[in-house]
């Protein structure tokens, strides 16, 4: 079934996916392209973005976009404005789980990220991408989203960001709730809700989605789900033009904020 929504001018919808060159972001790009979208694939390194775009082919364009560098966000917006004049879907997918020493196991990262000992520099670095980067990209793309008849914003979050879930003593991931990554996703959920409430009257829907525990570079590929499985729910939300506003879902359905 085709999910493409075209305006009265028969114009294909335009999407931007940050961090689209690998992992869940790349799977989302592929699905959007297969459903008739023109996709701007954002990547910190232009060469990585262009090579990922070439793998997908069709109407996929690599664009340099580092969510922590405003000049790259502004340049990406200017390009979309020049080439299409509007944006129908923004997927804030770019994220990092830690900024410390590379090559550590998931267990070592979790231990280093505990509230009592986490490095403030590492917290700031992760939040710069996962929280402030989402705000920066969304604010910059809003003028383009407002030109779409029914724009949508999808923020790729994590079940770890759910305070309600983590507060339950029976939750298996409770011990993984750290101040670096997990708390950044809680903050990102709050940012999602804030935009969703403000933009509701403009018919711009803002939703958060968790891929589940997916094996990607985020966790040194130690996740239990394949990237294909983990991408299913983000892809479903990204393609659902009739989704309600302000939802938070994961592979098994609705999640508690």
Does residue 141 contact residue 87 with C-beta atoms inside 8 Å? yes
Of 30, 37, 40, 181, which is the active-site residue?
A: 181
Token digits of residue 34: 């297969």
Residue 185 annotated among the catalytic residues of the structure: yes
SS (H, E, C) 39-83: EEEEECCHHHHHHHHHHHCCCEEEEECCCCCHHHHHHHHHHHHHH
Residue 181 annotated among the catalytic residues of the structure: yes
Tell me how far apart the alpha carbons of residues 164 and 226 are, in angstroms, rounded to a whole number.
Answer: 26
Residue 20: closest CA among 184, 216, 187 = 216
Of 30, 37, 40, 185, which is the active-site residue?
A: 185
At CA 128, angle to CA 109 and CA 183, rounded to 5? Answer: 50
Which residues carry out catalysis? 181, 185
């Amino acid at each position: 079934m085709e999910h493409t929504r075209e305006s009265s001018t028969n114009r294909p919808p335009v999407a931007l996916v940050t961090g689209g060159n690998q992992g869940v972001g790349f799977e989302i790009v592929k699905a959007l392209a297969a459903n008739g979208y023109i996709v701007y694939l954002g990547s910190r390194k232009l060469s990585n973005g262009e090579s990922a775009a070439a793998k997908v082919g069709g109407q996929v364009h690599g664009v340099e976009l580092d969510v922590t560098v405003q000049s790259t966000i502004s340049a990406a917006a200017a390009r979309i404005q020049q080439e299409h004049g509007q944006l129908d879907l923004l997927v804030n997918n770019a994220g990092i789980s830690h900024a410390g020493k590379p090559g550590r196991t998931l267990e070592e990262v979790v231990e280093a990220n505990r509230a009592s000992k986490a490095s403030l520099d590492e917290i700031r670095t992760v939040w710069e991408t996962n929280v402030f980067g989402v705000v920066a990209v969304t604010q910059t793309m809003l003028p383009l989203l407002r030109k779409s008849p029914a724009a949508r914003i999808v923020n790729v979050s994590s079940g770890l960001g759910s305070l309600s879930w983590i507060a339950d003593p029976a939750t298996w991931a409770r011990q993984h709730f750290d101040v670096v990554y997990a708390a950044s996703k809680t903050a990102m959920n709050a940012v999602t809700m804030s935009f969703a409430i403000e933009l509701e009257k403009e018919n711009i829907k803002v939703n958060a989605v968790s891929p589940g525990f997916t094996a990607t570079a985020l966790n040194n590929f130690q996740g239990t789900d394949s990237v294909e499985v983990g991408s299913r729910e983000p892809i479903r939300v990204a393609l659902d033009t009739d989704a309600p506003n302000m939802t938070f879902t994961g592979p098994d359905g609705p999640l508690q904020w």
